[in-house]
Structure 1
Amino acid sequence: MTAEIDDLDRRILAELQRDASQSLDEIARKTGSSKTPVWNRIRKLRAAGVIRNYTVLLDEYALGLEACFFVLVRTSSHEAGWQAAFLDAVRARPEVMEAHRLAGDIDYILKVKVANARAYDRFYQSLIEDVSIFNVTALLSMEEIKFTTEVPL
């Protein structure tokens, strides 16, 4: 079910996406509202599930995670048991930043952040130890051209 939001809600959400650490006063000033309505709307948006949580974005390069691999996974097994084991294995690995089940020739794509190729190989060996995979292709990202966590409003 889609939440109904108006223009003020969108402006508040845009400000929160840009910097969730802003004070209510700052958000109210930037959105042309006042503190109490902004607070009430944020509470309403949280209750509706539009705002899931607040977080901090870290610089992975500063933390030594300089390699980003996109891992294309094909499986020959489509049973529920295999899928559950695969999903458990993927969810248990902090290197996996995103995982998507796909339509088409590739079954899954994983976005994996690691220090280097050797760290990726350790990740890969650990993954295939936990679950049987028919085919894996790893693509090394040479340059991140765009990254955002902001949802288009």
Structure 2
Amino acid sequence: MDDMDRKILSELQEDGRLTLTELAGRVGLSLSPCHRRLRELERSGAIHGYRAIVDAEAVGLKFEALVFVTMRQEDRSTVSAFEEAVADIPQVLQAQRLFGDPDYLLRIVSADLPAFQRLYDERLATLPGVQRLSSTLVMKHVVYERPLPA
């Protein structure tokens, strides 16, 4: 990964819909070398996909919470069952395993507080191996969906 690859990544993080011609112009390469570098970044896994960033509020998901999970037991099968169950909940936007206590951090969206409460009671509280759930509400995003630094 050299400076030119970093420029390509930076431009694509800002606007993933750039045409190859626009991308080449922005990074100062001709079309063929830019295309070759882009394909190599995709092949290597540095770029693993393209997607639209959707505004949650615009689609009716106006409520966001962070849920901290402390596990009762952390044997391999329990952790695996927990992680598979969490991955099957569409409202969980992010799930991160942490060192120390708590064991996991979940970022969750829902339409409103009653919808979150139902999700909490019916799905989150019944996840395998959970000892304790603690949640806090997101007041505002200060830094959100920031591109990776170049």
TM-score by length of 2: 0.94
- Do 1:89 and 1:127's aligned partners in 2 also have CA atoms closer than 8 Å? no
**Alpha-carbon offset, residue 128 of structure 1:** 2.2
Question: Which residue in 1 is equivalent to 2:75?
Answer: 79
Q: Does 1:16 align with 2:9?
A: no
Name the % identity: 34
Give the alignment of 1:1-40 within 5 angstroms.
5-40=1-36
AA at the equivalent of 2:106: L
Specify every segment of 5 or more residues in structure 2 that has no aligned partner in the other structure, as ranges: none
**Alpha-carbon offset, residue 78 of structure 1:** 1.1
Query: 1:102-143 CA deviation, whole Å, 9 max, x = no partner?
Result: 111211000001111111112112222342421111110011
Query: Which consecutive aligned stretches of 4+ in structure 1 deviate over 4 angstroms post-superposition?
Result: none
AA at the equivalent of 2:58: A
AA at the equivalent of 2:36: N
**Alpha-carbon offset, residue 35 of structure 1:** 1.2
SS at match of 2:65: strand
SS at match of 2:58: coil
**Alpha-carbon offset, residue 84 of structure 1:** 1.5
CA-atom RMSD in angstroms? 1.2
How far apart are the structure 1 equivalents of 2:15 and 2:6? 14
How far apart are the structure 1 equivalents of 2:103 and 2:126? 19
Question: Which residue in 2 is equivalent to 1:89?
Answer: 85
Q: Choose the corresponding residue for 1:117, options 108, 113, 119.
A: 113
TM-score by length of 1: 0.92
Query: Mean alpha-carbon deviation: is it higher for 140-149 or for 126-135?
Result: 126-135
How far apart are the structure 2 equivalents of 1:57 and 1:88? 25
How far apart are the structure 1 equivalents of 2:71 and 2:44? 37
Question: Which residue in 2 is equivalent to 1:62?
Answer: 58
**Alpha-carbon offset, residue 20 of structure 1:** 1.0
Specify every segment of 5 or more residues in structure 1 that has no aligned partner in the other structure, as ranges: none
